[in-house]
Structure 1
Amino acid sequence: MSLNQISKVYATALLELAQEANSLESTEEELSSLVGVFFSDDTIRHYFLSPLVDPSEKEQTAAKSVQGKASEIVANFITLVVRKNRFLYLKDILEDYRSGVDRLKNRSSLRIVSKDSLGKEAVDQITKSISSKFGREVRVTEHTDLNLIGGFKIYIDDFLIDASIRAKLAGTREALLQKKIPVGAFE
């Protein structure tokens, strides 16, 4: 089973439980908070990923660490993920869970990736434009990618709008190659 399939299976199971308990949003908030804590601290992350730590000890630690900090559904889910040695997949499970909630709420997930933050005005303008084109509410997350030369990429549901400099350069290169313009023609 691939990474993508594993995270989808766990996310779907959690989504079904949360839907039955009428707690889609609160489950997402709790899971997001816990994933943030687990992955923001190297010591915690290394502990749960270490093959040297006894699996039952990891499970007990996970259960104790979420006890009283999360609902029964989320606490049991985190414990199960640790028991099944799927801790590494938690971030992907969270993303797949969010996508599932968005589908159920007829909402689109919009991820804007740029070299530097685009600023509130630009993000709001992009959000408004995408929302009107897709005819639904849009949930926005903004990420930075230092590997981008410039421009930005927009991921919305299963679509990619690539307005990065790298994509524009690749398009220009392809156009030049197809027209077979000799090198030095622009000098």
Structure 2
Amino acid sequence: MAENVTVARPYAEAAFKLARDANALNAWAQALARLAAVASEPRIRANIDDPSVSASAAAQLFVEVAGDLTADQKNFVTILAESDRLAVLPEILSLFSAQKDAHEGVKDALVSSAFPIDDATLARLVADLETRFKSKVKATVQIDRELIGGVKIAVGDEVIDASVRGKLAAMAAALQN
């Protein structure tokens, strides 16, 4: 939802600045992941959507369920609860993660494959991508049976099409010329 992302953006930026300044980006990413999971739980969601539940009670619930949080992270949860923004924690996590990756020079790669990729093959593929793009690469794999075989990799706006379907399309285009 675009409006949730818009609402979440200033909170994600604030969390990122706090985490960066405290040299605790990984700790904040883990805490936000736990908090986003709590916010996505249907029973918790019903609780925070209930107008009879106070902001302090909702914040306390999140703090108890999310596990070990620092004082700054607990304060962040309290601010979200007081602003009625606990529901946008998944979007806050997504935006925070994007800022963290940009700060650390990590690039996202979407690897589409016709068949599941084993861990060893994926590790080799990621290593090759890191060499090619001269940065850390975080790969997400999705299965796309229409590729017939091979892989199609998207890193930023660059696409590497090593799929059978892509090669067949290239051959068809070459034959028409």
Superposed pair shares fold, TM > 0.5: yes
> Would you say the 8 A contact 2:55–2:84 is kept in 1?
no
Of 159, 162, 167 in structure 2, the residue corresponding to residue 161 of structure 1 is: 159
Offset from partner CA, 1:110-134 (integer Å, 9 cap, x none): 3446676422133223312221121
1:11 is matched with 12
Distance 1:109 1:139 in 2: 5
Find runs of 4+ consecutive structure 1 residues off by over 6 angstroms: none
Give the 3-state SS of the residue equivalent to 1:36 in structure 2. helix
Q: Percent identity?
A: 18
1:91 is matched with 90
2:132 is matched with 133
Alpha-carbon deviation of 1:105?
1.8
> Would you say the 8 A contact 1:150–1:164 is kept in 2?
no
1:70 is matched with 69
Structure 2: runs of 5+ lacking an equivalent: none
Label 1:164 to 1:131 Cα distance change in 2 as closer, same or farther (>3 A). closer
Alpha-carbon deviation of 1:89?
2.4
Q: Which amino acid in structure 2 is aligned with residue 74 of structure 1?
A: Q
Give the 3-state SS of the residue equivalent to 2:109 in structure 1. strand
Offset from partner CA, 1:52-80 (integer Å, 9 cap, x none): x1275254222343156211222222232
2:43 is matched with 43
> Would you say the 8 A contact 1:18–1:73 is kept in 2?
no
> Would you say the 8 A contact 1:8–1:93 is kept in 2?
yes
Distance 1:105 1:26 in 2: 15
TM-score of the aligned structures, taking structure 2 as reference length: 0.70
Label 1:5 to 1:129 Cα distance change in 2 as closer, same or farther (>3 A). farther
Alpha-carbon deviation of 1:11?
1.2
Distance 1:74 1:159 in 2: 35
Label 1:162 to 1:34 Cα distance change in 2 as closer, same or farther (>3 A). farther
Give the 3-state SS of the residue equivalent to 1:7 in structure 2. helix
TM-score of the aligned structures, taking structure 1 as reference length: 0.67
Q: Which amino acid in structure 2 is aligned with residue 17 of structure 1?
A: L
Structure 1: runs of 5+ lacking an equivalent: 180-187
Distance 1:114 1:59 in 2: 47
Offset from partner CA, 1:2-31 (integer Å, 9 cap, x none): 443333322111111111222111111111
Distance 1:65 1:55 in 2: 16
CA RMSD of the aligned region, Å? 3.7
Q: Which amino acid in structure 2 is aligned with residue 133 of structure 1?
A: R
Does residue 1:61 correspond to 2:58, yes or no?
yes
Which range is displaced more, 67-76 or 108-117?
A: 108-117
Distance 1:96 1:116 in 2: 30
Distance 1:80 1:72 in 2: 12
